[in-house]
Structure 1
Amino acid sequence: MKSRLLIPLACLLLLLASTPASAASSAGEPLSQAEAMRRLSFMIGAWAGTGWTILPSGARQEFLQTEWIRYQAGDLVISVEGQGRDKADPRTIVDSALAVINYNDVTGKYRWEAFSRGFVTTVEPVVGDHRFEWSLQTPTFTTRYTLTFTDTAWHEIGETSVDGGQSWRQNFQMDLRRLY
């Protein structure tokens, strides 16, 4: 009789052990996913400031930048909407981008999906304490963007490596202040 009870009990324990620990809270929201997204709360807000980039021609272009970062979809997705305007002629939009950040509680990884100039970039960013980094690899170069935040400031640099990450050359910088 004991062995008959042990088999179903073992099956039940195995089933419970294979269920993600983040199951659901009483509100039905995955706990680990919500907690992971809360780790990015330092990014939330409206931001504005200046920046520069090196164009493919080698010329340096300065721009005015505005970013709106907000929680979406029950706080389980973050949208990042940015618009850059030519510093010399603010009526001219030089970049317009949209990105989304989410967290997969099964894989335990964040995903950054960005849309800009007709391109889509999907990568796994590195998230730290008031830090966010994402990289894009092609067969010939790697570009990485490192964002650091304080309560009132966002500093971001972009760098490119053509030697597998042995050396980096900065080609982008942005310094923004929190509006709210």
Structure 2
Amino acid sequence: MRVLSALVLPVTLAAAAAPALAQSPPDPAARVAKQQAAMKALSWMDGVWRGPAVTTRPGGVKVTITQTERSGPLLGGAVHVVEGRGYNADGSTGFNALGIISYDPDKDAYSMRSYAMGQAGDFPMTLTPTGAVWTIPAGPATIRYTITAKDGVWHEVGERVVEGQPPMAFFEMTLKRIGDSDWPAAGAIPPN
């Protein structure tokens, strides 16, 4: 009986693996083309932005900074890179973040990989007719950032959302597009 089991297991595993081996991997060119097409919806972000941002800290203390964003495509337009930098009144950097926005054709979904204040994570992003919304789970709450873009103005509101309670705004920025940028694609290393 033991000999029969030893023979049946490899035959069963080989039969189960045959369909998987017969499938070819996804066509990378087709996947990249889908990503590039999806990321065109974020082309409004391209360029350099500046304006005031106000954060309400615990206790109701409001802190105002000058917020800047620089944003552009990378990997042939398959991803979008955004750097946010907030300047204190004395010119020092009070906030710095990096976001990489991508699109997964298999899930038909956008996400943002964010790095800020010593933290990192992957967060869902949904496009809207006027911009985008991205969310961060935070225990019993969700942190929701709603971006609207119109006529060269990037307006973003951050809210703490707890089910059954009205959203509590803690962040708002209103940036104006101040120019084009070849960042992040500029400066690629040439072959020679």
TM-score higher than 0.5 here?
yes
More helix by share: 2
| Structure 2: 5+ residue stretches without partners | 1-22, 180-192
CA offsets per residue over residues 11-54 of structure 1, 9 Å max, x none?
Answer: xxxx7xx997x8736xxx63221110111111111100111001
| Structure 1: 5+ residue stretches without partners | 1-14
Q: How does 1:2-41 map onto structure 2 within 5 Å?
A: 24=29, 30-41=32-43
8 A Cα contact 1:145 1:157, kept in partner:
yes
Task: Give 1:168's aligned residue.
Answer: 167
TM-score by length of 1: 0.79
8 A Cα contact 2:67 2:87, kept in partner:
yes
Q: How does 1:140-179 map onto structure 2 within 5 Å?
A: 140-162=140-162, 164=163, 166-179=165-178
CA distance, structure 2, for counterparts of residue 144 and residue 19 of structure 1: 36
SS in 2 for 1:56: coil
Task: Give 2:183's aligned residue.
Answer: none
Largest Rg, 1 or 2: 2
1:73 CA drift (Å): 1.2
CA distance, structure 1, for counterparts of residue 105 and residue 126 of structure 2: 15
Backbone CA RMSD of aligned residues: 2.2
Task: Give 2:53's aligned residue.
Answer: 51
8 A Cα contact 1:131 1:148, kept in partner:
yes
1:165 CA drift (Å): 5.8
- Among the aligned pairs, what percent are the same residue? 32
8 A Cα contact 1:142 1:165, kept in partner:
no
SS in 2 for 1:30: helix
8 A Cα contact 1:135 1:145, kept in partner:
yes
Task: Give 2:15's aligned residue.
Answer: none
CA distance, structure 2, for counterparts of residue 132 and residue 165 of structure 1: 23
1:118 partnered with 2:118 = yes
